[in-house]
Amino acid sequence: MRVNSLYSVIQTEKLQESIRFYHHYFGFQIIFESEWYASLKLAESSLPFELALLDYSHETIPAGFRRSAAGMVLNFEVDDVDREYERLVVEGKLPLERELRDEVFGQRHFIISDPNGILIDIIKIIPPSEEQSGFYQEQVW
């Protein structure tokens, strides 16, 4: 199979609030917007990161699956996680779900949530512990 694009679609009952959130805090630009769907693209990136938001009650979704998204985590790897913590948590007052911390498996990160309760993990890759480094297939830090 040749894949031309791959992106997540978050089913939500808070479409407009979610559009504003991802635009304001993460710089996503609106590529397409209707009353039930929005396609967003990360503007300041060398790679084509996309995210879509969908009114979960829309008829395009099979009836048994019409509910808000849950159990999802979006990971954003950044250059300066401490600066993003300052910007998003201290200045932006976004809900902090996990305090900024270093993990033995090679991440310095914190977790916030979006208007839908989707977790957003803001990550800086750091060297893992010696024990954990053996799990990596390549050095990414």
User: Hey, where are the domains in the chain?
Assistant: 1-58, 71-134
Three-state DSSP class for residue 141: coil
pTM summary value: 0.91
Residue 9 has pLDDT above 80, yes or no: yes
CB within 8 Å of 87: residues ≥ 6 apart: none
Cα separation, 126 vs 128, in Å, equals: 6
Domain 1-58 of CATH type 3.30.720.120? yes
Q: How far is 21 from 24, CA to CA, in rounded Å?
A: 5
CB-CB neighbours of 32 under 10 Å? 10
Q: Please check whether residue 9 is in contact with residue 2, taking contact to mean a CB–CB distance below 8 angstroms.
A: no
Q: Tell me if the domain spanning 71-134 has CATH number 3.40.50.2000.
A: no
pLDDT in tens, 14-35: 999 999 999 999 999 999 999 9
Q: Which helix (H) or strand (E) holds 20?
A: helix 15-26
pLDDT of 138 > 90? The answer is no
- For the stretch 61-106, pLDDT in tens is 999 999 999 999 999 999 999 999 999 999 999 999 999 999 999 9
Q: What angle do CA 102, 103, 104 make, to 5 degrees?
A: 125
**Matching CATH topology for 1-58 and 71-134?**
yes
